[in-house]
Amino acid sequence: MHDFATRLLAWRRRFGRRGLPWQGTRDPYRVWLSEIMLQQTRVATVVPYYERFVARFPTLQRLASARLSQVMPYWSGLGYYARARNLHACARHLVGDHGGKFPRSASELARLPGIGRSTAAAIAAFSRSERAAICDGNVKRVLARYFAIDGDPRASAMERRLSAQAQRLLPPARSMPAYTQAMMDLGATVCLRRAPKCAVCPLQPTCKAFREGRVDELPLRHAARPTPVRKAHLLVAMRDGAVLLQRRPPTGIWGSLLSLPQFASRAQLRSVLAAIGEAHLSTLPERRHAFTHFTLEFTPHLAIIERRRRQTTEAGAVWWPLSRLESAALPAPVRRLLRELHSASTRSATRKRDTML
């Protein structure tokens, strides 16, 4: 076995992360779910989402038979909602076309919708001990440093090189689940992007970047491009303890979630509001939400509907009771805003009642 794998496995036995709810399972459904949830998301954030999700959808069949609108509330707040849509589509595809079974090999798994090569390798390694190498961002960073390889890890030539290295380092099949977990643990807890903990790293004696004093410069980073800013106006129309929500289109940001009606301009918002009813309108302070490729600056406009017109709600819109906010599949910043408004209005109602007593 390569020295790299021997050191990593020994380290994992003493220092690897333990007790995560998806560890130790060989069920490809659960491995797949955890891998998708962990993409771009911290472990501590994922744990409660994972537990709720598997409690509600314990099998591939249960997920496939649910409607997307039943699945989205279990992803609400986790971000990158295309993951949930792909997960659901993939479950239906597996049940419809593969007899409800996952393909056995990493190369077949990688052909499924929403499953990239690294996720396919993780599923195959954990569930069948296949010698398939994960090569996500963390692994690429570890290998670029360990072998002191110059180049942008996102460039395809570099990706191929790192992926070939990752494959060469693999231990025998029986050690694949532990080794794959060890690679994940090392990238997440020791060989960090900023301030890696080389002093406690099991690979330090043979790490080329460490030996050459190049840890801080590898992997090569491109100068960050300024993030574009998009502006939007959100309508917070409320009446009788309910708020107007609208289902977002299936693609794009917050796809398939419920959200506040969104407009490009204040004038558009006002004209839609006029069709809903007579309202007392106030503009709230602007808020920001960072997506991967842009920042959304949105201005919420609170409209307390005093008299409602008949033909108010468009297709996909619903008056949602504020008391049931927690069960709505909402984007995290919208949920935060509505929670704040709801608790402010509850406090003010309580104050009014106390004054009258």
Which one of the spans 95-103, 129-137, 209-217, 267-275 is the region binding ligand SF4 (CB under 6 A)?
209-217
Q: Kindly tell me which of 81 and 210 has the beta carbon lying closer to ligand SF4.
A: 210
Q: Is 11 in the site for ligand SF4 (CB under 6 A)?
A: no
Provide the 3-class DSSP secondary structure of residue 278: strand
Amino acid (1-letter code) at residue 111:
R
Name the catalytic one among 35, 297, 306, 326. Answer: 35
From residue 278, how far is each of 127, 237, 270, 275, 312 by CA, in Å? 59, 11, 11, 8, 11
d(CA 272, CA 116): 42
CB of 326 to ligand SF4, least distance (A): 41
**What tokens appear for 255 in the block?**
């796809």
Q: Kindly tell me which of 75 and 146 has the beta carbon lying closer to ligand SF4.
A: 146
Active site annotation includes 326: no
Q: Is 215 in the site for ligand SF4 (CB under 6 A)?
A: yes
Strands 295-308 and 229-239: parallel
Q: Kindly tell me which of 213 and 226 has the beta carbon lying closer to ligand SF4.
A: 213
Q: Is 94 in the site for ligand SF4 (CB under 6 A)?
A: no
The alpha carbons of the chain give a radius of gyration, in whole angstroms, of 25
Contact 170, 139 (CB under 8 A): no
Residue that is written with structure tokens 């949105």 in the block: 298
Q: Before 58, cis peptide (omega within 30)?
A: no
From residue 20, how far is each of 9, 237, 278, 281 by CA, in Å? 18, 41, 52, 47
Site for ligand SF4 in 144-163 (CB under 6 A): 145-146
Q: Is 190 in the site for ligand SF4 (CB under 6 A)?
A: yes
Contact 93, 100 (CB under 8 A): no
Question: How many residues touch ligand SF4 (CB under 6 A)?
Answer: 15
Q: Kindly tell me which of 129 and 180 has the beta carbon lying closer to ligand SF4.
A: 180
Q: Is 210 in the site for ligand SF4 (CB under 6 A)?
A: yes
Amino acid (1-letter code) at residue 61:
Q
Q: Is 203 in the site for ligand SF4 (CB under 6 A)?
A: yes
Options 33, 94, 201, 276; binder of ligand SF4; rule CB under 6 A: 201
String marking each residue 218-257 x if it binds ligand SF4 according to CB under 6 A: ----------------------------------------
Active-site annotation, residues: 35
Report the interface residues with ligand SF4, using CB under 6 A: 142, 145-146, 190-191, 196-198, 201, 203-204, 207, 209-210, 215
